[in-house]
Amino acid sequence: MKETTCAWAINTPLEREYHDNEWGRAVYDDRVLFEFITLEGAQAGLSWITILKKREGYRAAFLNYDLDMLAKLDDSNVASIIENFDIVRHKGKIASVYNNARAAIELQNEYSSLSKALWQFVDGKSLTNQWSSMDQVPASTETSKEMSKFLKKRGFKFVGETICYAFMQATGMVNDHLIDCPKYNLDK
C-alpha cells in the first residue's frame, strides 16, 4: 500500500509539521490540553492554518496557559489582548479563555487533573479509527457530544461537539490519521 499523508496536512509546511509531530499523539499534560481547548475554540468558523500561524501569539496572550494565572483574569483584559497580541480578535472567544481556566481548575479539583476529567471519555486510552479517506472522518461523534455536554455543564464556553471532536483528534484521544498515512501507527 502506498503511504499518503492526510490530505488536510499537505498544503503548507506548518500544517505538515503539526500533522507529523503533534496531531493524534496522546497528550496528558493539563497545560497542553488547555492550550488545545483554547485553540480549537478559537478555530471555530476559521481554518486551522489561521490558528497555527497565530499559535505563538496565543501562548503569549494567555500566559503560556498557566491556569492559575488565567483564572485570576477576566473580561477587562480583552481589549488589551486584542490590541497587543496576534490572535483572532473575537471578544467572546478571548473572554472564554479566562472563564474556561476557572472551569478547568474546578475539574482539576474534582478529578485531580484536567487530563483525567477529559480522558475519561475514552477510558484513558487512544481510540484508533481505520479511515481510508478523509470523507469518512466524522465532524463529531457520540463521545464528542458527551464531552461537550459535560464541559458546558461545568461552565466551559466554545466547546461544541465539533470543537470537542477536533480537540480529541488533536490530543490523541482519537487517532484519525488515514490508514495509509505514514503517521497512522503512532506507537511504532
Number of H helices, E strands in the chain: 10, 2
Please tell me the distance from the alpha carbon of residue 65 to that of residue 28, in angstroms, as a whole number: 14
pLDDT digits (tens, 9 = 90+) for 61-112: 999 999 999 999 999 999 999 999 999 999 999 999 999 999 999 999 999 9
- Residues carrying an active site annotation: 18, 40, 48
The pLDDT of residue 2 is 59
Asked if residue 3 lies in contact with residue 179, where contact means CB atoms within 8 angstroms, the answer is no
CA atoms of 36 and 34, how far apart (whole Å): 5
pLDDT band at residue 1, thresholds of 50, 70 and 90? low
pLDDT band of residue 5 (cuts 50, 70, 90) is: confident
The overall longest dimension of the chain from CA atoms, in Å, is 55
> pLDDT tens for residues 138-160?
999 999 999 999 999 999 999 99
Residue 181 three-state SS? coil
- Flag whether pLDDT at 10 surpasses 80: yes
Quick one: pLDDT at residue 3?
62
Q: What's the gap between Cα 97 and its chain centre?
A: 13
The pTM of the full predicted model, rounded to 2 decimals, is: 0.95
Rounded-to-integer distance, Cα 26 and Cα 170, Å: 8
The pLDDT tens digits for 112-138 are 999 999 999 999 999 999 999 999 999
Per-residue confidence (pLDDT) for residue 4, from 0 to 100: 81
